[in-house]
Amino acid sequence: MKKLGVIFDNLYLQHDNGMGHPESPQRLLAIHDMLTTTGLINEVTRINPRDATQEEICLVHDPEYFNLIKSTRGRPRIFLDPDTSTSPLSFDAALRAAGGMLSGIDSVVKKEVDIAFALVRPPGHHAEKNRAMGFCLFNNIAVGAAYAINSYGFKRILIVDWDLHHGNGTQNIFYTSPNVLYFSLHQYPYYPGTGGINEVGAKEGTGYNVNVPLPAGMGDKEYIKVFFEILGPIAQQYRPEIVLVSAGFDPYFDDPLGGMQVTPSGFAQMGRFLKELAESVCDGRLVLILEGGYNLEGLWHSTKAVIEELIGKRKTRYEDKDNVTKADAVIEQVKKVQSQFWRF
């Protein structure tokens, strides 16, 4: 059995996007409800997150942008983007959401737990260096990766982003860096518009950005095949020192914002894959953070499946690797482009 640290905090419920917004506190309440009603709460280790400091946030964000978000503190709703707004406690929640990632990294690197899963909001992967977008204020996972480089001297960090959407912010922040390899599979073309196959990084970072843009309708078979065919070989060659995961549950088959067909078993298979990958390349160091996912029942069942997989309570069978899938054409195109940098 693995010791899983689960990070949550009531402050995460205080960020409010307004009535009827899909990115609601109910999302975390659904996961909390799952943890208590299943009793899984007693099989994980609760970690209380700290706040990220201004200095840590500004490892990836401009100070002017930090101050803009800070200026919303205590004020009524301020719109930063058509679908992203703040409430009086949003800044505080956002500092602690990024801090949740940092507490997760600390507890895994210091071996207080084997794996950590930060159940935070607001989410982060759309946030750019100097701009809020797509429900995101600070880019939690990017702050985490920069912190791991800065504080622990890591030189190779793998970020796997299985959210339905492309993480434009994370890609852009590390686009010229070989120290962070960003891997994303996502619905495409779709919001936010980025994430094409030919976006492979630039300058020193060329070859360290991998996008797998998938048409709508892909399910468990396709997602896990992308992991086996593309992510696995690249990760084995990159040899990351830690694996960070943007775990969005909006590829769920019944998500109101998405068009994918992933089931709880598919999420569990991705969790299993990443746990085994981390064991084989980086002494098991694995930190996940919640991104999207807007069907409350989907969040309940999918996080249950992933957490059971991570602690070793269940071992979800992989889909047959030889399946012919609807993603095969995209997989071949990605391999063709990425074969400039990696062997398949």
Give the residue numbers marked as catalytic. 126
Beta carbon nearer to Zn ion, 113 or 164: 164
Whole-angstrom distance, CA of residue 183 vs CA of residue 292:
17
Whole-angstrom distance, CA of residue 285 vs CA of residue 183:
17
Q: What are phi and psi of 11, to 5 degrees?
A: -60, -25
3-state secondary structure of 262: strand
Select the span of 152-160, 165-173, 210-218, 278-286 touching Zn ion (CB under 5 A): 165-173
Pairing assessment for the beta strands 84-86 and 78-81 based on DSSP bridges:
antiparallel
Residue from the set 28, 292, 301, 319 that interacts with Zn ion by CB under 5 A: 292
Residue from the set 164, 243, 310, 331 that interacts with Zn ion by CB under 5 A: 164
Q: How far is residue 46 from each of residues 189, 203, 309, measured CA to CA in Å?
A: 38, 41, 17
Q: How far is CA 279 from the centre of its chain?
A: 19
Q: How far is the CB of 163 from Zn ion (least distance, A)?
A: 4
Q: How far is residue 255 from each of residues 62, 89, 250, 262, measured CA to CA in Å?
A: 33, 27, 6, 10
Count of residues of this chain found to bind Zn ion when the rule CB under 5 A is applied: 6
Pairing assessment for the beta strands 242-247 and 157-161 based on DSSP bridges:
parallel
Residue from the set 100, 124, 248, 266 that interacts with Zn ion by CB under 5 A: 248
Residue from the set 128, 229, 250, 309 that interacts with Zn ion by CB under 5 A: 250
Beta carbon nearer to Zn ion, 100 or 167: 167
Q: CA geometry: angle at 260 spanning 299 and 13, to 5°?
A: 25
Select the span of 57-65, 158-166, 309-317, 322-330 touching Zn ion (CB under 5 A): 158-166
Is there binding between residue 301 and Zn ion (CB under 5 A)? no
Closest residue to Zn ion, based on beta-carbon distance: 292
Query: How many other C-beta atoms can be found within 10 angstroms of the C-beta atom of residue 112?
Result: 14
Beta carbon nearer to Zn ion, 149 or 164: 164
Residue from the set 165, 166, 221, 225 that interacts with Zn ion by CB under 5 A: 165
Beta carbon nearer to Zn ion, 273 or 294: 294
- Polymer length of the chain: 344
Is there binding between residue 163 and Zn ion (CB under 5 A)? yes
The two tokens of residue 144 are: 């985490």
Q: How far is CA 276 from the centre of its chain?
A: 17
Is there binding between residue 234 and Zn ion (CB under 5 A)? no
Select the span of 78-86, 91-99, 190-198, 289-297 touching Zn ion (CB under 5 A): 289-297
Select the span of 53-61, 159-167, 234-242, 280-288 touching Zn ion (CB under 5 A): 159-167
Q: Amino acid identity, residue 274? A: L
Q: What residue ranges in 127-241 does DSSP mark as E strands?
A: 157-161, 180-187, 209-214
Select the span of 47-55, 113-121, 233-241, 249-257 touching Zn ion (CB under 5 A): 249-257
Query: How many other C-beta atoms can be found within 10 angstroms of the C-beta atom of residue 258?
Result: 27
Beta carbon nearer to Zn ion, 41 or 257: 257
Q: How far is the CB of 164 from Zn ion (least distance, A)?
A: 5
Beta carbon nearer to Zn ion, 168 or 325: 168
Strand partners, 187: 214
Give the binding site for Zn ion (CB under 5 A).
163-165, 248, 250, 292
